[in-house]
Amino acid sequence: MTNRLSIVIAGTTGLIGKSTVELALDNASVDHIYSLSRRPITIEHSKLTQWLSPDLSIPSEGDVTNLPIIGVITLGTTLKKAGSKEKLRAIDVDLVVNVAKDMHKFGAKHIIVVSCLGASVNSRSHYLRCKGEMEAELQQLEFEKVTFMHPGSLVGPREETRKDEKVLQCVLNMLSPLMVGVLADFKPVKAHDVADAIIKLAIQQNNSINKRIEHVRTPQILNLCS
C-alpha cells in the first residue's frame, strides 16, 4: 500500500525540475509539494508552496503543513554557464550537497538527485568528476535511501540551446532505435520522462528501501514511464 506523501523539490525553474512539479501536482498520491528555487515558477496550486531563497536554503520560518519525506534535487550547470571550473564545482558539488543536508535536517528520508551518465570521481572530465564527487558526498549522508538519476542526452525545451547541442540531439534521435545493449544507456530521453520516473520512484519509496544506493539509467527510466 502506498502512503500519500509530501515532496520538496530544489531546482524547479529548470527543465526537469518544473516537469517534476507539474507531474507531482497531478498525482493523487502526493499531498503537497514544496518548490525551492531562487526565482518563482509560474505555477499556482493549492498543493504547492514556493520557497524562494538566493542560496537555496530551506527557510526556517517556512509554512509547513506536511513535512516532506522525499527530497528531489534537479540542480546543475555547465562550464559555459558557470564561467569557470571553480564556479561549476560550487554548484554541482557544494550547492547540491548543502541542499541535501538541509533536506535531511528537514526530515527527508529518501533523496532523488539528477546526476549524469558517466559520473565518477576518477573521470578526466571536470564535469563528470564533479558529479562523481557530489554522489560520493551524498552517499555519506544519513538518508534511508539515495537515488541518482543517470539519464542519457536530455530532450526538451531549454531557455537556451547551443547550435552544436541541437545537432547532437538530432543525430542521437536518429540513432536511438539502434542503441541497444550497452548503448541503451546513451539513448536520448525526454526531460518529462525523467520527471515522471522521479515521481514514480518517490511514490514507490516505502516499498523499495531494500537497496540504499540506487542508480537509475535511461532503460530503467523509460521502463518506469511505460
CATH class given for the domain over 5-154+189-225? alpha beta
- What was the pLDDT predicted at 155? 81
Closest CA to 48 of 70, 59, 63: 63
55/53 Cα distance (integer angstroms)? 5
DSSP result, the chain: -PPPEEEEEE-TTSHHHHHHHHHHHT-TTEEEEEEEESS--S---TTEEEEE-TT-PPPTT---SS--SEEEE-----HHHH-SHHHHHIIIIIIHHHHHHHHHHHT--EEEEE--TT--TT-SSHHHHHHHHHHHHHHTS--SEEEEEE-SSEES--S---HHHHHHHHHHHHHGGG--GGGGGGS-EEHHHHHHHHHHHHHHGGG-TT-SEEEEEHHHHHHHH-
Domain boundaries, the chain: 5-154+189-225
- What was the pLDDT predicted at 61? 63
Specify the pTM. Answer: 0.90
Q: Which portions of the chain are predicted below pLDDT 70?
A: 1-3, 61-63, 65, 157-181, 205-210
How do residues 139-185 score in pLDDT, each as one tens digit? 999 999 999 999 988 887 655 555 555 655 565 566 566 556 677 88
